[in-house]
Amino acid sequence: MEQADNLQRFDLLADIQKTIFRIPFLKEAVNSFLLQPYEDYFISKKLKICFELKERWSFIELGLIHSELAKQILNELEFINNGIKESIKLVSFGSEPAIEFFSRNDGPFKDPDNGIWNRFISKI
């Protein structure tokens, strides 16, 4: 079962990379990305897709980027991978993957351990 989960994660990483190249701003602005699985207070499995941008951005700029691109990213992922589309349909509202943007070397990207994994797997 663990091997199947790992293969699905690699498929998702590839789908996210395809999505980045389909959205012009992301293609130019994203340095790397990573997946952050977690559980909420109800012990429901959730997923965050975190994007590290090449430049430093203010909190307000990151908010604008998020509001403009989060839905577009999910739409592109659904277009690329019908399995994602079907799984998003099955979850209740608000349970779709969370999208987050971070300035360079910030958030989960400032941890050296994540940075090594991130550069190895999902560097663009």
pLDDT tens by residue, 82-103? 776 666 655 544 567 889 999 8
Ordered domains of the chain (ranges, CATH): 2-122 (3.30.300)
| DSSP string for residues in 40-84 | -TT--EEEEEEEEESS---HHHHHHHHHHHHHHHHHHHHHH-HHH
pLDDT tens by residue, 59-77? 888 888 898 899 899 889 8
pLDDT tens by residue, 14-63? 888 899 999 999 888 899 888 887 777 777 777 888 999 988 888 888 88
**pLDDT for 72:** 92
